[in-house]
Structure 1
Amino acid sequence: MYPLHLALCLTAALAAAGAFVAAPAAAQSSPNENAVPETAALSAQVGAWTVVDTFWAHPGSAPSLSSGLIADRRMVGSLLEETLHAEDSRQPLRIDYLSYDAVAGQWRYVSIEARVPVAPMSASSFTRDPADRITLRFEPFAAPPIAPGWSGRLLRMEQVITRDGPDHETKDQFFILADGTATRWLAHRYDYRRRR
Structure 2
Amino acid sequence: MNRNSIAAFVSIAMLAAFGLVPVRAAEPTAAQRMSEAGPERQSLEKQTGTWDVVASIWPAPGAQPIVSRGIVAERKMIGSILQETMHPGPGSQTPAFTRLDYLDFDRVEGRWKYVSMDTRFPVSIMPAASFGPAEHGRIDVHFTPQGFVGFGPEVEGRFMVSDMAISSPDADHALKEQHVLMADGTGKSWLFVRYEYTRRH
User: What per-residue deviation string (whole Å, max 9, x for no partner) do you get for residues 153-196 of structure 1?
Assistant: 10111000111110001100001000011100001110000001
Q: 2:61 maps to what in 1? A: 59
Aligned residue number for residue 76 of structure 2: 74
Q: CA deviation at 1:148?
A: 7.7
Q: TM-score, normalization: structure 1?
A: 0.79
Matched, 1:135 2:140: yes
Q: Give the Cα–Cα distance (whole angstroms) in 1 for the partners of residues 35 and 164 of structure 2.
A: 30
The match for 1:176 is 181
Q: Aligned partners of 2:35, 2:148: CA distance in 1, in Å? A: 42
Deviation at 1:146, TM superposition (A): 2.6
Q: 2 CA distance for matches of 1:157 and 1:150?
A: 19
* Structure-2 separation of matches of 1:94 and 1:136: 18
CA change 1:68–1:52 in 2 (3 A) is same
What does 1:1-196 correspond to in 2, within 5 Å? 34-88=36-90, 93-130=98-135, 132-147=137-152, 151-196=156-201
CA shift, 1:114, in A, is: 0.9
The structure with more radius of gyration: 2
CA distance in 2, matches of 1:49, 1:131: 23
Using the TM superposition, give the Cα deviation of residue 130 of structure 1 relative to its aligned residue in structure 2, in angstroms.
Answer: 3.7
* Closer, same or farther: CA 78–44 of 1 in aligned 2, 3 Å: same
**In 1, Cα distance between the equivalents of 2:90 and 2:192?**
26
**What fraction of aligned residue pairs are identical, expressed as a percent?**
39
Spell out structure 1 runs of 4+ moving beyond 6 A: none
Please state how far the C-alpha of 1:145 moved relative to its aligned partner: 2.7
Bigger RCO of structures 1 and 2 (CA < 8 A, at least 6 apart):
1
Residues 134-164 of structure 1: per-residue CA shift (max 9 Å, x gap): 0010010110233589721101110001111
Partner amino acid, structure 2, of 1:103: V
The 1:117–1:33 alpha-carbon spacing in structure 2 relative to 1, beyond 3 Å, is closer
Q: What TM-score do you get using the length of structure 2 for normalisation?
A: 0.77
Structure 1: any 5+ residue segments left out of the alignment?
Answer: 1-27
Alpha carbons of structure 1 residues 131 and 168: separation in structure 2 relative to 1, 3 Å: same
CA displacement at 1:63 relative to structure 2: 1.0
Alpha-carbon distance change, 159 to 166 in structure 1, aligned in 2, over 3 angstroms: same
For 2:37, the aligned partner's letter is: A
Distance 1:150 1:133, change over 3 A: farther
